[in-house]
Chain A
Amino acid sequence: MKSDAGYRVPKIQIRDLRKAFGAKQVLDGIDLEIATGESLVIIGGSGTGKSVLIKNIIGLIAPDSGSIMIDGTETTTMRHAERDRIMHKFGMLFQGGALFDSLPVWENVAFGLIQVQRLARPRAREQAIEILAQVGLPPEVADLSPSELSGGMQKRVSLARSIATQPEIMFFDEPTTGLDPIMGSVIDDLIVKSVRELGATALSITHDMASARRIADRVAMIHGGKIIWSGKVDEIDRSGNAHVEQFINGLAEGPIKMQVKG
């Protein structure tokens, strides 16, 4: 994918992306590039449109305007068959886990293997148990229902499901929210390890700065529907941006005013 002058086509390239729900302009001109193999973390307050941004990239929500290119291919104008092909590149860990509660744990993990890669069920089950082991879960959980698991275990199963089909691009939506700090750190390590093993490009969302520092190569901050700052993870403490400083230090006073009404 190398063109002249050594310029590499970004894995994901977003230009002037806009999305409103009713009168509420959630995304107001997002510009963002993610290089192949890079791990980008997006930080920002609750309700600033981080999940909406990811859902636009995956194609779960259609943007009002703007461009999203995956491997140099425009996806916003894609039709069904093409979109299906692009979808195979994605793996997503949803904010709430989104495990299928009508299926046992192993079938959750093996879902993509059975439905997309057409693996026979016994073979898919074996593979699911291997993947569960990678995220530190014993074979005994394979036949449990997701509702029988603790929050941390559910997150792990979700992670296992999203890496099972070995996607090129991984999305993690608040992977550590609602977990205790130790479990949060375990999940972060698993994410870093899985992404590295797959050689995947990763886009994560968090408002947990400790977590952001662990998984990010680069950090971008979203505010007011725009990316207001982005830089290397070790530059974040000297960003020189008042919004970023307020956010990473968790200060009540600053340019970001908490909207009580959404």
Chain B
Amino acid sequence: MPFFAPIGRSTIAFFTIIGRVALFTLYSVSHCVRPPFFPRQIGRQMLEIGFYSLPVVGLTAIFTGMVLALQSFTGFSRFSAESAIPNIVVVSITRELGPVLAGLMVAGRVSAAIAAEIGTMRVTEQIDALTTLSTNPYKYLIAPRLIAGLFMLPLLVLVADIIGVLGGFVVSVFTLGFNPTTYLKNTWDFMQVMDVVSGLVKAAVFGFLLTLMGCYHGYNSRGGAQGVGQATTNAVVSASILIFLSNYIVTTLFFTQ
């Protein structure tokens, strides 16, 4: 059956990768929760992942909020339903666009950087050097990044939510002629705690996944500069796909009864 052989081979290869990633995840998480911890490394990564991602996340959020207001206005004015704009902006931003766009932007920035850094450390034997200095690379390199991703993404998304709503507000008030007080009041009335919370939960999941993909591909990279380049690409692609996949799963958990 020569026809089925390639299908079988790629199926096996697929499940091998799933298994490897699962083992890597379990092993990494087990090191996140057992001492020794490296607070200095965690702080450094929080700064790197959280603070330095603020500009890119902020810019993404403000333009998204602005476009959202503009687009819904041109759509809804046909039904004289302009008053729905504050609602649309706040729901879209907090539920979907804030976490997903922030997640994707940070994936491009952070997953790539992590994969490149850990990958370089792998091919230049710095990871072996850590081990000979009695320091577990899972604890020193991987755990701090996962922890930082898990906690910093929700904070980033909270900032993105606020800036996104602000973007919608600015366009509505200055271009579309809304009354600022009414707009803000409507936003506040329409905003659901559950929308914000679900968005932050998504952010935590994305933060974990995108740092995990950076670590996994970097840690397993082989063969010099080319291997590191490959790891970087794979990290960003797999992180982005996992963000979309997990976004669907978390949405299902929150919003379908």
Contact A98 B128 (CB under 8 A): yes
Contact A88 B134 (CB under 8 A): yes
Interface-located stretch among A22-30, A111-119, A208-216: A111-119
Minimum Cβ distance to chain B for residue A10 (Å): 21
Contact A112 B128 (CB under 8 A): no
In the assembled complex, B194 has its CB within 8 A of some CB on chain A: no
Cα–Cα distance between A256 and B131 once the two chains are bound (Å): 35
Minimum Cβ distance to chain A for residue B51 (Å): 17
Interchain Cβ contacts within 8 Å, total number:
51
Contact A92 B126 (CB under 8 A): no
Q: Is the interface of B mostly helix, strand, loop or mixed?
A: helix
Residues of A within 8 A of B128 (CB): 55, 60, 92, 94, 98
Cα–Cα distance between A96 and B122 once the two chains are bound (Å): 12
Cα–Cα distance between A90 and B129 once the two chains are bound (Å): 11
Cα–Cα distance between A101 and B129 once the two chains are bound (Å): 12
Minimum Cβ distance to chain A for residue B102 (Å): 26
Q: How does the 8 Å CB contact mask read for A83-94 relative to B, with 1 for contact and 0 for none?
A: 010011011101
Residues of A within 8 A of B133 (CB): 111-112, 115-116, 161, 165
Q: Can you report 22 residue pairs joining A to B where beta carbons are below 8 Å apart? A: A58-B132, A59-B131, A60-B128, A60-B132, A87-B132, A87-B134, A88-B134, A92-B129, A94-B125, A94-B128, A94-B129, A95-B125, A97-B124, A98-B124, A98-B126, A98-B128, A99-B129, A101-B126, A111-B135, A112-B134, A115-B134, A161-B133
Closest 8 CB pairs of A and B: A98-B125, A98-B129, A92-B132, A94-B125, A112-B133, A87-B134, A116-B134, A115-B135
12 further A-B contacts with Cβ under 8 Å, apart from A55-B128, A98-B128, A161-B133, are A60-B128, A84-B134, A87-B134, A94-B125, A96-B124, A96-B125, A100-B126, A112-B134, A115-B135, A116-B133, A116-B134, A165-B133
